Amino acid sequence: MALKSTIFKAQLQIADVDRGLYADHALTLARHPSETDERMMVRLLAFALHVPADDRRGRLEMARGLSDTDEPDLWQHDLSGALVHWIEVGQPDERRLLKAAGRAERVTVIAYGAAVALWWAPLEARVARAGNLEVWQLPNDESRALAGLAQRSMTLQVNAHDGVVWVGDGERAVSLSPRRLKEATR
């Protein structure tokens, strides 16, 4: 018998000073049986850092990611159905990134884990031509600490200012310093 996804509920209170975004979001996350708490929490962080201020160009939504190889972890479609933003969590391969760059206006990767440098070194030159691709790295110890905040029902405060992100649940807090590996050029 196949294992089912585990459902997590998250109340996010976002104060992103860098983008001038202050909003509350209620999210339901389905954690795939093969997904770790760390990966799920990085997905949640990706949502908080990239959710648009309004829905004029569509909503940012959790996609099937691990369950469907044709979908990212998060995506945003405009009202005409055009793919505005494709967000990957982890260390996707070159083919997947270039395919995403051809389909979406904007592609973002949030890489985490101890092997990010080994993944990125050979990939950097091969994806340089993707001008709509932006790649970020979360330090390994910080993404692991973020996983410690995972609970089936969560209320999290996410504050971003001057490139530093603070995530807390009222009792514990994690400070994150995402590092840009590749900036989008268009």
Q: Which pLDDT tens digit goes with each residue over 37-49?
A: 999 999 999 999 9
Identify the band that residue 4 occupies on the pLDDT scale cut at 50, 70 and 90.
Answer: confident
- Residue 19: which H helix or E strand, with range? none
What is the model's pLDDT at position 69? 73
Distances in Å between the Cα of 15 and the Cα atoms of 12, 41, 51, 127, 177 are 10, 18, 12, 32, 16
pTM assigned to the model: 0.94
Please check the confidence at residue 3 and state whether its pLDDT lies above 80.
Answer: no
What is the model's pLDDT at position 2? 62
What is the model's pLDDT at position 107? 98
- What 159-168 contacts at long range (C-beta under 8 Å, 24+ apart), as own/partner pairs, is 159/14, 159/15, 159/16, 159/17, 160/14, 160/15, 160/16, 160/17, 160/18, 160/19, 160/48, 160/49, 161/17, 161/18, 162/17, 162/18, 163/18, 165/45, 165/48, 165/49, 167/45, 167/48
Q: Which single residue is written with the structure tokens 């990212």? A: 72
Query: Tens digit of pLDDT for each residue in 54-112?
Result: 989 999 999 976 666 789 999 999 999 999 999 999 999 999 999 999 999 999 999 99
Please check the confidence at residue 127 and state whether its pLDDT lies above 90.
Answer: yes
Full set of structural domains in the chain with CATH: 7-182 (3.10.640.10)
What is the model's pLDDT at position 66? 62
